[in-house]
A and B are shown apart, each in its own frame.
Chain A
């Protein structure tokens, strides 16, 4: 049996919250460079150059790439042969977020009550925590700093089976087209298909938390991911919505079985900073 101490979890979350905000992953930096090569609009190229310059500056001075250092989404996969020792898992994660956001000079962007009393909690807690029990003895934390510019432009639809592939495709394109410049393009798109009303949104988020550029194991969906990326890049939105060919950097789909009468679809958008990090024990 593998033992994971809560102190290790707290420290991993603390470091992840700072690291994802300061350091943009290599695969994403590569994607910016490729986008710059492909972009045809002058203003689009200028925006992409600023994005590249910004991530270099942020990394060299340990500054957050964006002032919206996000709400913290923490996805924990716990192997059923793992034992957590020393305290409560959820408290350890929140202590990690609190310390990371304070020690790392990150913005605190969470209010306690959504409607009547929107007072800032002051340390970016609570994190949005999702826990899944998986086979084996892996313990994996996937951390995402999710800005709200792109989150607010995300959409969910309860389509019917008759809508089919065309219905899904049109809903994804409409969501991206209507979001336009608001989610900070070039964006990354997570699509959830199937499940129920409650699970489909989480599927879309999981798609965003999956490895950048990875394809769905089912070739039908893998093909759809690439087709959607191609079509989204024909919408003309371009970097920052100022017109151009590069509107999205990647599209990833996660799926689940669903009811015979249902076809739920969720489209979760993420900005070009796309801050995700993983810690494993």
Chain B
């Protein structure tokens, strides 16, 4: 079953999401990646005001290519989420309720998502042309000087994601490997951790 959601996200929406759920997002989401997160968290630490109110919002980890003439946006697939892990707690404290990226989160973030009742979605990595067609409007709202790392407000329609970590501590990647692994390894697999 496909679930449809529109930000801002409240507890009722989040409680209904489970790992593996296919979700279509329609509405406004914000982009931010490494450099923007650094500025967000520096602002929070100084007690300043963020350029966007994160309460109930969704952040998409993406740095799109520039739009060709006549296009709204260039290719716009997800980037690797783990690089944003060390910024997660202050962002969640500021009210952020969902992030979209690719790859796993460190176990520390999986715990934080449970603690702050937030979810982590994944979009398919490396299909940026396809994903760009789900973006209907795009405008820069902060940090224009960062170029491809500027913060944008995107209006998306039926933007396809999968729940990778829910508010109950579930993790889609661990489940997947457990189901399909056919080899015994002489070492322990450690998740690369930033938290």
Question: Is A80 part of the contact surface with B, judged by Cβ < 8 Å?
Answer: no
Within 8 A of B (CB), among A230-252: 231, 234-238, 240-245
Most chain B CB within 10 A, of A152, A181, A245, is at A181
Interface residues of A in 126-156 (CB under 8 A from B): 148-149, 152-153
**Inside 8 A of A157's CB, which chain B residues have their CB?**
none
Q: Are A108 and B176 in contact, with the CB atoms below 8 A?
A: no
Given A67-B63, A107-B66, A149-B80, is A236 in contact with B177 using a C-beta cutoff of 8 Å?
yes
Contact A108 B173 (CB under 8 A): no
Q: Which residues of chain A have C-beta atoms less than 8 A from B147's C-beta?
A: 108, 120, 122
The residue on A at minimum CB distance from B186 is A170
Q: How far is the CA of A234 from the CA of B74 in the complex (A)?
A: 36
> Once bound together, how far apart are the Cα atoms of A177 and B88, in whole Å?
25
Within the assembled complex, what's the spacing in Å between the Cα atoms of A245 and B29?
Answer: 34
Contact status A240-B66, CB under 8 Å: no
Total chain B interface residues with beta-carbon distance under 8 A = 52
Q: Which of B150-195 contact A (CB under 8 A)?
A: 162, 172-173, 175-183, 185-187, 189-192
Q: Which chain A residue lies CB-closest to B148?
A: A107
CA distance A76 to B48 in the complex (A): 50
The answer, yes or no, to whether B6 is at the interface (CB within 8 Å) is no
Q: How many A-B residue pairs have CB under 8 A?
A: 181
The size of the chain A interface, using a CB distance under 8 A, is 56
Q: From DSSP, what is the main secondary structure of chain A's interface residues?
A: loop
Which listed segment binds B: A45-53, A92-100, A193-201?
A45-53
A271 vs B102: C-alpha distance when bound (angstroms): 12
Measured CB to CB, the nearest residue on chain B to A245 is B180
Query: Among the listed B77, B175, B191, which residue makes an inter-chain contact with A66, where contact means beta carbons less than 8 Å apart?
Result: B77
Query: Nearest 6 A-B pairs (CB), nearest first?
Result: A243-B176, A236-B181, A236-B180, A182-B103, A54-B127, A234-B183
**Which residues in A have some Cβ–Cβ distance to B below 8 Å?**
40-41, 43, 47, 50-51, 53-54, 57-58, 61-69, 105-109, 118, 120, 122, 148-149, 152-153, 170, 173-174, 177-182, 184, 231, 234-238, 240-245, 271-273
